[in-house]
């Protein structure tokens, strides 16, 4: 099958179970632990590395997504379901807040509207006239907005696309996007955090799992590694500088992930002609920063960058425009594709329930 002429990096047509890595966490929330000894790095001993907490969905949401995934995987090819998660091109996507004040809401709204400079979508925060910004409450019995922002859950995360209004996954009185602590203190990289999470909200997945990427994560321990922990009970390099692999590192505190969860959130996704993807974009706002020790080839890894991605890349912008087009002909084609996907999902579910 011939591939599309334009291939956007990991945009919209990938599984919707991405778990946000807290690589954009503020400096005060980061911890350091020993790495292999010897040498200098950025003015510190090279035996100091930052262990990043891998933030995930709350358990209640994760369980619902897993349950739906198990059911859906028996019904339809995965890409069909993901086509159905796109918002309609030209759609006005309503957004509401729980917590925070108008000053914070304005900062977030003005920042994330950058996505709509390229994607044919409108973000409606309900702040017309003197009514203030739209809000939602845990007591809501109907969806006040398509995207419901909170600041009081652990970590940073967002449901992907229309999952945010899918009652199999969430409820009217639950957040679909969380920015922990923004209502208390904005981290220095808050613009990148909010852009990344709103990227998920319009359908983007993590770039580091791109089927055409080459993120050579170092999953296994160095040969002979002897489990060693720091004062936070996190796994760290042993006395001879042998390092824990990601299965060990993320399998211990604070993440405590089983191997299957590590695989799901970091392993490369299988390539498919159905995916609307592009050449791997290591500069994408949707790719988190990983320290060099997390890769087999260290700083030589095609996935390594020496700093965090803080702005939309050129491919992010082009992909948003491709998936949410502006011309009538392209909008019509995209809407028909989504409608067919939704119809197929509905038919498959009906057949499965009988």
Q: What is the pLDDT of residues 199-223, one digit of tens each?
A: 999 988 887 777 777 899 999 999 9
Q: pLDDT value at position 118?
A: 96
**Calpha distance 140→232 (Å, rounded):** 39
Q: Which CATH number characterizes residue 164's domain? A: 3.40.390.10
Q: At 62, which helix (H) or strand (E)?
A: helix 59-72
Residue 297 belongs to some domain of the structure:
yes
In this structure, is the dihedral angle defined by the CA atoms of residues 264, 179, 121 and 173, taken in order, positive or negative? positive
Q: Is a pLDDT exceeding 50 seen at residue 78?
A: no
pTM for the whole thing? 0.73
Report if residue 4 sits inside a domain.
no
Cα–Cα distance, 269 to 275 (Å, whole number) = 11
Q: Which residue has the higher pLDDT, 316 or 73?
A: 316
| Positive or negative: CA dihedral 275, 276, 279, 285 | negative
Segment 272-287, tens digit of pLDDT: 433 455 678 888 998 8
Give me the pLDDT at residue 48, please: 41
Residue 340 is assigned to a structural domain of this protein:
yes
pLDDT of residue 49: 43
Model confidence at 346, in pLDDT bands (50, 70, 90)? Answer: low
User: Could you give the number of structural domains in the chain?
Assistant: 1
Beta strand 122-124 with 92-98 is: parallel
Domain membership flag for residue 93? yes
* Residue 22: pLDDT over 60: no
pLDDT at 5 over 50: no
The predicted pLDDT at position 28 comes to: 31
User: What local confidence, expressed as pLDDT, does residue 213 receive?
Assistant: 73
Domain that holds residue 198: 22-67+78-217+267-353
> Does residue 112 belong to any structural domain of this protein?
yes
Question: What's the average model confidence in pLDDT over 87-103?
Answer: 95
pLDDT-derived band at 290, boundaries 50, 70, 90: confident
Q: What pLDDT was estimated at residue 120?
A: 96
Average pLDDT over all residues of the chain: 76
- For the segment 46-57, the average pLDDT, to the nearest whole number, is 50
Q: Is residue 258 assigned to a domain?
A: no
Q: What are the tens digits of pLDDT across the range 221-263?
A: 999 999 999 998 999 999 999 999 999 999 998 888 888 888 8
Q: Is 7 left (phi over 0), alpha (psi -120 to 50) or beta?
A: beta
Is 102 among the domain residues? yes
Q: Is residue 97 part of a domain?
A: yes
Give the confidence band of 340 by pLDDT, cuts at 50, 70, 90.
Answer: low
């Amino acid at each position: 099958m011939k591939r599309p002429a334009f291939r956007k990096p990991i945009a919209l047509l990938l599984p919707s179970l991405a778990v946000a890595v807290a690589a954009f966490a503020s400096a005060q929330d980061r911890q350091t632990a020993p790495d292999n000894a010897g040498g200098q790095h950025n003015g510190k001993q090279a035996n100091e590395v930052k262990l990043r907490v891998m933030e995930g969905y709350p358990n209640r949401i994760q369980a619902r997504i897993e349950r739906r995934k198990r059911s859906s995987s028996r019904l339809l090819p995965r890409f069909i379901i993901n086509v159905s998660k796109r918002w309609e091109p030209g759609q006005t996507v309503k957004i509401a807040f729980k917590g925070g004040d108008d000053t914070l809401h304005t900062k977030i709204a003005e920042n994330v509207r950058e996505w709509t400079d390229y994607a044919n979508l409108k973000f409606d925060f309900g702040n017309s006239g003197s009514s203030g910004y739209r809000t939602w409450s845990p007591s809501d019995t109907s969806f006040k907005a398509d995207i419901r922002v909170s600041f009081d859950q652990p970590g940073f995360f967002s449901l992907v696309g229309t999952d945010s209004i899918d009652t199999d996954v969430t409820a009217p009185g639950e957040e679909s996007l969380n920015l922990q602590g923004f209502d208390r203190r904005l981290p220095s990289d808050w613009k990148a955090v909010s852009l990344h999470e709103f990227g998920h909200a319009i359908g983007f997945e993590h770039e580091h799992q791109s089927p055409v990427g080459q993120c050579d994560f170092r999953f296994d321990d160095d040969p002979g590694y002897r489990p060693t922990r720091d004062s936070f009970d996190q796994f760290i390099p042993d006395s001879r500088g042998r390092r824990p692999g990601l299965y060990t590192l993320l399998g211990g505190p604070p993440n405590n992930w089983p191997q299957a969860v590590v695989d799901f959130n970091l392993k490369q996704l299988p390539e498919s002609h159905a995916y609307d993807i592009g050449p791997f974009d290591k500069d994408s706002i949707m790719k988190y920063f990983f320290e060099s020790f997390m890769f087999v080839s260290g700083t030589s890894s095609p996935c390594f960058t020496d700093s965090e991605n803080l702005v939309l890349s050129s491919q992010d912008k082009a992909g948003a425009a491709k998936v949410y087009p502006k011309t009538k002909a392209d909008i019509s084609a995209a809407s028909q594709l989504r409608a067919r996907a939704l119809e197929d999902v509905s038919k498959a579910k009906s057949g499965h329930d009988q």
